[in-house]
Amino acid sequence: MRKYTIENKLKCIELAEEIGYKKVSEITGIDRKSLREWTRKKEQLKLIDNKENTFRLPGGGAKPKTVEQEKQIVKFIENCNKIGIKVDTSLIINELCRIYPEMLEKSRRTLRKWCYRFLKRHKYT
């Protein structure tokens, strides 16, 4: 599977509008369905700031399965910050396992990866 930047997608859309989806598909090897999907999202793609290094629209990708738990953890972090407790990944993982016991079955490595993605999603890093 190849990844295309927003900039590349916009160039392909322009070319497809000029010479047709079939020709662009043959030239680039990009499926016509993808080209049509990009065309539908053309206006949204144009609004992205960093077109050279961005591959998808905000909100793309799989949604986390722990949405409700994440809201609780965000509140937990805010409360810790208010009372001056330093929050680290271990504290976050322990809180996650407390409020979502199913996560106890996961390995420490998996939990740490989840924690780093959580921190990134909520802009703590």
Domain with 93 in it: 67-121
pLDDT on residue 109: 95
In a shared domain, residues 38 and 83? no
Structural domains counted in the chain: 2
pTM above 0.85, yes or no: no
The gap between the terminal CA atoms of the chain, to the nearest Å, is 29
Domain annotation covers residue 53: no
Residues 39, 71, single domain; the answer is: no
| Under 8 Å between Cβ of 10 and 46 | yes
Closest CA to 12 of 28, 108, 1, 22: 28
Cα separation of 41 and 45, whole Å?
A: 6
Dist. CA 15–CA 96, nearest whole Å: 48
Residue 10 lies in a domain: yes
CA-closest candidate to residue 92, choices 107, 106, 105, 75? 75
Residue 35 lies in a domain: yes
Residue 88 lies in a domain: yes
Two structure tokens written together for 4: 């295309």
Nearest alpha carbon to residue 29 among 5, 45, 12, 17:
12
Each residue's pLDDT tens digit, 56-103? 777 777 777 888 999 999 999 999 999 999 999 999 999 999 999 999
pLDDT tens per residue, range 105-119: 999 999 999 999 999
- For residue 42, what are the CA distances in angstroms to 12, 16, 37, 72? 11, 12, 9, 36
- pLDDT surpassing 70 at residue 1: no
